Amino acid sequence: MRYDFKRDLLWLFLRPWVWIPRIVEILSSLIFLTINLILQGSSNDAEIQRKLAKKLLNTLTSLGPCFIKIGQALSTRPDLVRKDWLEELTNLQDNLPPFEHEKAISILKEEIETDLNKIFKYFPNKPIASASLGQVYKAKSINGDWVAVKIQRPNLEFIIKRDIVIIKILAVIGGPLLPLNLGVGLGEIIDEFGKSLFEEIDYKKEAENAENFAKLFDQNPTVTIPKVEHQISSKRIISTSWIDGIKVKEKVKLLENDINPTSIIRTGVISGIKQLLEFGYFHADPHPGNMFALKGNTGEMGHLAYVDFGMMDSISNSDRITLTEAIVNLINDDFDLLAKNFQQLGFLKAEQDLRIIAPVLKEVLGGALKKNVGSFNFKEITNQFSELMFNYPFRVPARFALIIRAVVSQEGLALSLDSDFQIVNLAYPYVAKRLLTSDDNEIINLLSRVIFDKENNLRVDRIENLLDILIEDSKVPGKELFPVAEAGLKLLAGKKGALIRKNLLMSLVKDEKLNTKEMKELLKLIKTKFKPATIGYGIIKNLNPIFST
């Protein structure tokens, strides 16, 4: 089961009784929607725009799974969709009408190929949840454990194969007529969408995703991944251990169960950042229905469970390091280098003159950050970019669609629990600490590029920025600084610190003369930041876990 446009186009072309009525249905719905957009789309009336967004939402929903997924994908693309429509598209339903229970049981029997009484002690007569691709039952296995059994909707492969071909044909034909700002062809975006959708309906692939994802958090007590029940799983069925938790969006229930919403936010955001910037493998659909809060805490971190691993994606090592570097450049207000990062990631063309881009980035990101990183709001920034992208050559590469979806979903969830939440209040300290303490060769090379300029001058101000970000909101600075001091000493003394030691020596010798200015500044910074009283708590905590929070 994989996406192949040419193969599927031939398959559909030979079945005119399939594609002709479906195209009529799709075109009639889209034409009616387009007429509404033409007549009222230019209106400045907020209520009219809200109704248009609702009409768009209802049209996509009524056209079925592929169009529902398109709506979800569009909700992550501020360069394609008006910002006042984005909010409505993010509200696409999670709980759609279920399909017939009898049909679900028939599919289950067909896939499992054995008597259900030999597998289940109890199986309900209706699902507990229903989505665009399948529905979930809470059942009890023969050994007495509760399990979640997800059964795929009937004929889903046929529906998706049919509709993806039609969607691409209509997109390629109609794309030039649409006022869209694309850096790549619309057909290429549809291809990326089709590929991910075919992977999502392969439940064997989802089971593999779940197990790979579980390995990443195997030693992390704050994140739980349900165990795949292979004996009750197949291509169209996936069963996992039941997660007895509370949907993270239900703030009242969280509080009733003595679960601190802020601790859940911390775990969700930090685990999301680790997936993107450390693991390079991430859950691309972290909406409220796919995340559950569990009782218990580990320090300031709540306990969180992920479910539904159909939409996963990877990020290349080079993109992962460049994203980390971009955040560091944002910390240091270096918008010239940030513009270069955007170019390296594909948001700008290789031949683009970056001299006109850096001021634009400073206008949007610098103005939002001001002097306080807590003023940063990812969604507000994407809204500002949605306006700038029609005047400047910014484009969102197709491979970043799922990353943006994941980040926006994560922040939206956090904001629903805490309206004052700022994602960089967690992201910035995480990146600063990782840059200053990691023994990963790629991160060490990045650290060298950040703290030394092209002439090998030591940028003490940048080291100070990173340290300040790390301890800005910390009640006990020593708790954050002690690992930095420990990692710094190990790096300078160890084999992996060769590049840093070399650059330090080169910064000391300039034009065959000894240059101690930068070293004096560094020693002054160390004396100021790493006072014995400041890091004392960190030492005590490191020696005695009783002091852990």
Give the three-class secondary structure for 514: strand
Phi, psi of 281 (to 5 degrees): -145, 120
> Residue with structure tokens 């709540």?
302
Give, to the nearest 10 degrees, the angle between helix 16-40 and helix 46-62.
180
Q: How many CA atoms lie within 13 A of 45 on its CB side?
A: 8
DSSP per-residue codes, 71-105 = HHHHTT-TTTS-HHHHHHHTT--SSPPPPPHHHHH
Give the residues across from 152 on adjacent strands.
134
Distant-in-sequence, close-in-space partners of 290: CB < 8 Å, separation ≥ 6: 283, 306, 307, 308
Distant-in-sequence, close-in-space partners of 4: CB < 8 Å, separation ≥ 6: none
Q: Which residues are catalytic?
A: 285
Give the three-class secondary structure for 246: strand
Tell me which residue of 340, 312, 330, 339 sits closest to 406, measured CA to CA.
312
> Rg of the chain's alpha carbons, rounded to an integer?
26
* CB neighbours of residue 491 within 10 Å: 21
Distant-in-sequence, close-in-space partners of 73: CB < 8 Å, separation ≥ 6: 193, 401, 405
Do residues 161 and 64 touch, judged by C-beta distance below 8 A? no
Do residues 283 and 257 touch, judged by C-beta distance below 8 A? no
Residue 252 CB burial class (10 angstroms; 0-12, 13-18, ≥19) = exposed
Give the residues across from 135 on adjacent strands.
130, 151
Question: In this structure, what token pair is assigned to residue 134?
Answer: 């399948």
